[in-house]
Amino acid sequence: MGGQALMEGIMMTGPKGTVMSLRMPDGSIQTTPKSFKKLKDKHKIFGKPFIRGPVSFVESMIFGYKCLMESAEKTSIDLEAEEESTSKVDKWLIDHFGPKMMAVIGVIAAVLGFLLSFGLFIYLPSLIFDEVLVRFTGIGNIWRPLIEGVIKVIIFIVYMAAVSNMKEMKRLFMYHGAEHKSIFCIESDEELTVDNVRKQSRFHPRCGTSFIFVIIIISITVASLISVVFAGTAVTEIRALWVLLKLLMLPFIMSIGFEFLMYAGKHDNPVVSVLAAPGLWMQRITTKEPTDDIIEVGIAAIKAVIDEPETKQNTADEGEAAAAVPEDKAAAEEETPGDEKADGESRGRHDA
């Protein structure tokens, strides 16, 4: 199970596929199947450990961004009804691009997002180290990976804390919380009701927030080893070469981080707890307690991608019905191959 918070909705992936559930402006919940073809389904090599990490990350980022833009377009207020309050820039975009306006905005936002990420988390830490710490303290390059990693963490926390105060982001983080709670409800084998979902934790070890912190920790470790190997060379002395090297290391670092995240989702031990702790703590910012109407969207998304488990009441009713069946008929039904297949499928769904 996995998902992503959207604008007034949730994208969810499960055994039956991927859907996008949105709370529409009229108050209804619209659930739409989404096609998400993965490279590993076409070429098995892309599903192998330490290869699947970067591939899954890029695929999820592209697909998730498309869903995010689609959700913003579907749940936004009609532009014609808001024509009087539309800015000149918006009017220009509407006049020149019409229905393709959101796609154009999406491309622009994606480019700006990449430049912002590169500037904040790759270039800026190196700039601060070279121009501030080295110049004024004379600190050695051996400390570069650790100090740059700490700077990345500080920038990330400050950035997320700042955007969390935006009205739209608060709603997004509430849907993020509902996504986690809904998944936890299923993983706890509880019936999908608002009350059961509400009592679940909103902090999940497989969250992308945890992945980011794991990536930072791994990048510090890998960069430290490289800085020792290339100590005193142009790689550690020239900022442009160091930044380029960090970019080249990203696929390798993501591979290790992805495998750890998959392991952390299935195991609970002291090492996992320590490494997952920063991400779980950070989820106090990136997730918010959802309201009941937001939980309902999470439930709708979950139900659309799983075969719902039988409730205790249904099991009791079936038990009473089985008791009322004559012994010879019950015995005949037990020998039916179709029942064996159904039972096998049920066990498979439970394991999944």
CA distance 30 to 6: 13
pLDDT at 192: 93
> What are the structure tokens assigned to 112, written together?
């700006």
Which residue is associated with the tokens 């039972």? Answer: 343
Q: Is residue 329 part of a domain?
A: no
- Residue 19: what are its φ and ψ, rounded to 5°? -135, 165
Query: What is the number of structural domains in the chain?
Result: 1
pLDDT at 221: 87
Containing structural domain, residue 7? 2-307+341-351
Q: Is residue 335 part of a domain?
A: no
- Contacts of residue 152, Cβ cutoff 8 Å, sequence gap at least 6: 121, 125, 216
pLDDT at 346: 36
Q: Is residue 326 part of a domain?
A: no
pLDDT at 339: 39
pLDDT at 308: 63
Q: Is residue 336 part of a domain?
A: no
Q: Is residue 234 part of a domain?
A: yes
CA distance 185 to 191: 7
pLDDT at 109: 80
| Local confidence pLDDT in tens for the 352 residues of the chain | 888 999 999 999 989 989 999 999 999 999 999 987 788 888 889 888 888 888 988 888 888 888 988 898 888 754 444 445 555 666 666 666 665 666 677 778 878 888 888 898 889 999 999 888 888 887 877 888 989 989 988 998 998 899 888 888 999 999 999 999 999 999 999 999 999 999 999 998 778 777 788 888 888 888 888 888 888 788 888 888 889 988 888 888 888 888 887 887 777 788 778 877 888 888 999 999 999 999 999 999 999 999 765 444 443 343 433 333 344 434 433 343 443 333 333 333 333 3
| DSSP string of 59-110, one letter each residue | HHHHHHHHHHHHHHHHHSPPTGGGGGG--HHHHHHHHHHGGGHHHHHHHHHH
Q: Is residue 322 part of a domain?
A: no
> What are the structure tokens assigned to 95, written together?
């006049």
CA distance 195 to 124: 45
Q: Is residue 116 part of a domain?
A: yes
pLDDT at 99: 59
pTM: 0.73
pLDDT at 24: 94
Q: Is residue 333 part of a domain?
A: no
CA 220, 226, 229, 230 torsion-angle sign? negative
